Chain A
Amino acid sequence: MIKNFLYSQKVAPYVFVLPFVLVFIIFWVYPLLSSFGMSFQKVTLGQEASFIGADNYTKLMGDTIFFKAVRNSAVYMILTLLILIPFPMLFAVLINSKAMWGREFFKSSFFFPALTSVVVAGTIFRLMFGEMEGSLINSLLGVFGVEPVKFLKGQTTGFVALVALASWRWMGVNMLYFLYGLKNIPDDYYEAASIDGASAFQRFTRITIPLLKPTTIYVLTISIYAGLAMFIESMMLWNGNNSPKNIGLTIVGYLYRQGIEKNNLGYAAAVGIVLLIITMVINLTQLALSGMFKKEEE
């Protein structure tokens, strides 16, 4: 009887998707709801939680370190967007051109950095941007007569190192995404445009950019997410979650500091909810805007 029930075509699909439903409820819905609940409580691991209303949020709004973290994450996200979208797109177009020698070789070597873990890559960059005269970047600067820079002690220079690390790791991957998008643009379009006398630049702006839009939106969406949620890169560069004057502190870093290091879970949960709201608002706005532009073109 039970066997017949489980084997019926009506029930089978539910059996197939059951693992997803379980994982979704246990490891996503429940944590998300409990995060939301925790953000209105005072929670310490191993102790009874107590409801404190919106206190965590009110406190958060007056927390200057939190705002420092938000600013850092936002600046990091914007810088990575400015670098990791136009350049990979341009490189993809160039590498895709018929005049390119050794395309496959360049494609793979650009991809290499993505194979390294953040721990390893972060360590390498920390040492490259070390403050000694002899460390890689400073010795290069020395060639041009520049005094050694204490990269990881300053806000701007620290961000140079952070963004360099991100660019190094993701340039090749984003380039692959754009190459993938380029494959879907028929050659006829370019030929027709050439016959009509369009210059290479015009072909790039009138054909390539608009037709790469789905890929660009995809890369934009994941980059916004990755930029705002960045943490380990900073943790590795500064060898811990405490950078001088919090120059490398990010939103997730602050969540980690409050939740894990200070065992202040309710407050940390509020940080998480704010991050969720920021990410959702930015991404939904971005998706809505790109959809709106689409309608205008039609």
Chain B
Amino acid sequence: MNTGTLRKILLFAFFSVLCLLILVPFYAVTIASFKPGEDLIRYGLNLRFDLSAMSFDNFVFLFTGEHAYFTWFFNSLLLTAVQVVLTLLVSATVAYGFSAYEFRGKNLLFVCVLLIMMVPFEILLLPLYTLTFNMGLMNSYSAIILPGVAGAATIFFFRQYLRGIPKEMIAAGRVDGANEYAIYARLILPVMKPSFAAMAILNGMNSWNNFLWPFMVLSDENKYTLPIGLKTLLTPYGNNYDLLIVGSFFSILPILVLFLGFQKYFIDGMTAGAVKG
């Protein structure tokens, strides 16, 4: 065997071990979702694969039992969909303004976009909380959607993308007598389509998994999103593991399926921030 093949085998072995380590928690939660919740309390989360202790009971309970899981699930779906559509449209519009025109205050405003990316959102939690309270928006989805509607990272990404679109297109639209907004809506938006996928996924993932701010705003159980609902299954008085584990498992599935189908866009979306300005 030459050193080249040996190196290949060593590399492959090394990454296989690493990969196993990374997949272990997924494996553990998958088999736990087939075991009774008491097992978890008694033995903890482990890798024991014991068919005799496993059943579909939790899944039956998930789909037919009396609980709010699917209310939370559909709330999350709805909120994610609305948030993605609004954020993309608003951010794309703003990005177009930044890239297609020269205007007074443009640079200053763009510095503000960058600034948003540098200030930890967490320090704004309390003033936002009091603001939401005073605006009477507590327990509403508007309070969750509005602060993020002009997403800094999304604006940044779209602006980068728009740089690649020739200015002649805009000029041609003007010659044809289209007004500024028609040019954007009819000529530019269609060309931007490919860039929407990556940002839809990035925003969708963030929104699906978003926890702290919705947790602070929402108090009505029927309005909870999935992460909040799952969190409430853990109480100081005992934990509802039957639903928690199978519910956690089931909450990963949609995003995993999406990921396997649209991997390229996930990766484009995640690395979008690393693009140099």
Contact = CB atoms under 8 A, between A and B. Distances in A.
Say if A and B assemble together.
yes
Interface of A: 7, 9-10, 12-17, 19-24, 26-28, 30-32, 34-35, 38, 43, 45, 91, 94-95, 97, 99-102, 106-121, 123-125, 127-128, 130-132, 134-136, 138-139, 168, 171-173, 176-177, 180-181, 214-215, 218-219, 221-222, 225, 228-229, 231-232, 236, 239-240, 252, 255-256, 259-260, 265, 268-269, 272-273, 275-276, 279-280, 283
B22 A135 contact: no
A20 B109 contact: yes
Interface stretch (B37-45, B61-69, B192-200): B37-45
Question: Which 10 A/B pairs are nearest by Cβ-Cβ distance?
Answer: A135-B44, A16-B97, A31-B127, A127-B45, A134-B43, A117-B209, A13-B101, A272-B123, A12-B180, A130-B44
B166 interface: no
Interface residues of B, number: 94
Instruction: Summarize B's interface: helix, strand, loop or mixed.
Output: helix
B103 to A, nearest CB: 4
Nearest to A118: B211
A34 B125 CA distance: 11
B28 interface: yes
Given A31-B131, A117-B227, A123-B230, A255 B15 contact: no
Nearest to B236: A240
A219 to B, nearest CB: 8
Contacts of A180: 271, 274
B53 interface: no
Contact of A7 (B42, B97, B180, B209): B180
A20 B113 contact: yes
Contacts of A125: 25
A138 B122 contact: no
Given A9-B180, A16-B96, A110 B19 contact: yes
A112 B256 contact: yes
Interface string B5-34: 001100110110011001111101100100
Contacts of B147: 23, 27
B116 A231 contact: no
8 contacts: A15-B97, A110-B22, A117-B209, A124-B28, A127-B40, A252-B120, A269-B127, A279-B120
B88 interface: no
Contact of A136 (B44, B98, B208): B44
A265 B130 contact: yes
A176 B268 CA distance: 10
Contact of A115 (B24, B47, B256): B256
From A128, A173, A269, residue with most partner B Cβ within 10 Å: A128
Nearest to A183: B271
B141 interface: no
Given A9-B180, A34-B127, A115 B103 contact: no
A259 B15 contact: no
B123 A276 contact: yes
Given A16-B97, A23-B149, A127-B44, A94 B15 contact: yes
Contacts of B94: 16-17, 19-20
A134 B46 contact: yes
A100 B14 CA distance: 11
A120 B252 contact: yes
Contacts of A102: 12, 15
Given A19-B94, A255-B125, A275 B120 contact: yes
B45 A124 contact: yes
Contacts of A15: 97, 181
Nearest to B131: A31
Contacts of B256: 112, 115
B126 interface: yes
A139 B22 CA distance: 18
A235 to B, nearest CB: 9
B155 interface: yes
Contacts of A168: 22, 25
A124 B133 contact: no
Given A32-B124, A231-B122, 10 more contacts: A13-B100, A13-B101, A16-B101, A23-B150, A26-B131, A102-B15, A112-B23, A123-B248, A124-B25, A255-B122
Contact of B126 (A116, A171, A265): A265
Contacts of A7: 179-181
From A20, A24, A123, A128, residue with most partner B Cβ within 10 Å: A20
